[in-house]
Structure 1
C-alpha cells in the first residue's frame, strides 16, 4: 500500500521539490500534500507545477492546529516531512504523528540549532565559531526546536575560505542526496 507524505515548507521549496520528484518514481510513497505557513512561499508554485495539492494556512491555524490536523487526515497522510518549515508544529499534530514526522537541519545538531537558527543564520554561526566541519541532521520532530531524536547526520568540511553561501551550497547537496532516501527508508521499515 502506497504511503501518503505531507511536506511542510515555508520558503522557496527546493527540498520539497526534490522530495516530490524522488517519490514520483517510487511505489512505496508519494507526496500527496504540501502545506505552508507563508502565503507567498514559492513552494506553492513548485508543488502546483508538479501537480501536488498545496495549501496555505495563516498563523492562527498553526497555533491551534485543529484545522491542519483535519486536512492531514482528509488526505490520509501517513508521514510528515518538514523541509524548511519555520513555524512550531502544534502538540496535537506532533502526537498524532509521533515517530512519523521528521525534520532536516543544516548543521550537526545539537550545535547551531534551536529557535531562530535556520538557513544562512546557521552557516554564519558555524563559520564565526571556527568550526572545521558542518553538515546536516535529520531528526524526529518533537515539542522543542531541533531537539528530537537524531536519525542520521552527514558531514562536510568547513573550508577556511568559506562564505555562508559557499557552505550552504555544500549543505544543499547533502540535503538533496540524503533526505529523500532517509524518508524512503523510514516509510519502508517503520519503527
Structure 2
C-alpha cells in the first residue's frame, strides 16, 4: 500500500478531493493531513474522513519535529495542497522527488515568493492574460522552481474578477491533481 501525506494551510478543498479520490483504493492510502494552522478547515475535513491530522508550528517545521513525524510514517509521496509555508531543505533532502505541489498558474509565470491564491489570480487578471492554468511540480529549495510534472490551461477571457479565475483553477485542480498523484505512485495500473 502506497502512503500519501497531505499538507495544507486553509480550507482544504484539494485535500478533501484527494481523500475522496483514494477513499476506496486498495493501492493508495492517505496516511495523514499536516497543517500549520490550528484553525484550518482542513482539520475538520480530515476528521470527517477519519484521516489522522497533525498540527505544527513554523518552528516545528524548521526544526526536526515535522521531519521525525514524516519519517515515522514513511510516506511514498508528500503532497502540498494549499500549503503556504516554504518547505525546508532538510525535509526535501530526506524525500527526494517525493514532494509535489500544485501551483495555480502556468509556471514559470506568476510563481515565487508571495505568489499564491488570490495574489496569483489578481496578477493574471491585471495582466489581461487570455489563459491561465495549473502546474503540478516537484518541490525543491526554491519557490515554484521544481521540475514540472503536469500543466494544463483554461481560457479566462470571459473572467471579470480574480474569484472567477479562482473557480476555474479549482475545477482544474480537482479534476487533475488526484489523477497525477495516482500516476506518480502507480505508473502502470
TM-score, structure 2 normalization:
0.96
Report the CA distance between 1:176 and its aligned residue.
Answer: 0.2
Aligned length: 188
Mean CA deviation greater in 23-32 or 113-122: 23-32
Distance 1:3 1:29 in 2: 5
Q: Residue 44 of structure 2 aligns with which residue?
A: 45
Report the CA distance between 1:40 and its aligned residue.
Answer: 0.8
Q: Which structure 2 residue ranges, 5 or more long, are not aligned?
A: none
Q: Does 1:87 align with 2:82?
A: no
Alpha carbons 1:28, 1:184 under 8 Å: kept: no
Q: Residue 167 of structure 1 aligns with which residue?
A: 165
Alpha carbons 1:28, 1:187 under 8 Å: kept: no
Report the CA distance between 1:189 and its aligned residue.
Answer: 2.7
Alpha carbons 2:61, 2:67 under 8 Å: kept: no
Q: Residue 112 of structure 1 aligns with which residue?
A: 110
TM-score, structure 1 normalization:
0.95
1:95-115 residue CA offsets vs partner (Å, 9 max, x unmatched): 111111100000000000111
* RMSD after superposition: 1.2
Alpha carbons 1:133, 1:158 under 8 Å: kept: yes
Q: Would you identify which runs of 4 or more consecutive aligned residues in structure 1 move more than 3 Å? A: none
Report the CA distance between 1:160 and its aligned residue.
Answer: 4.1
Alignment of 1:50-129 (within 5 A): 50-64=49-63, 66-129=64-127
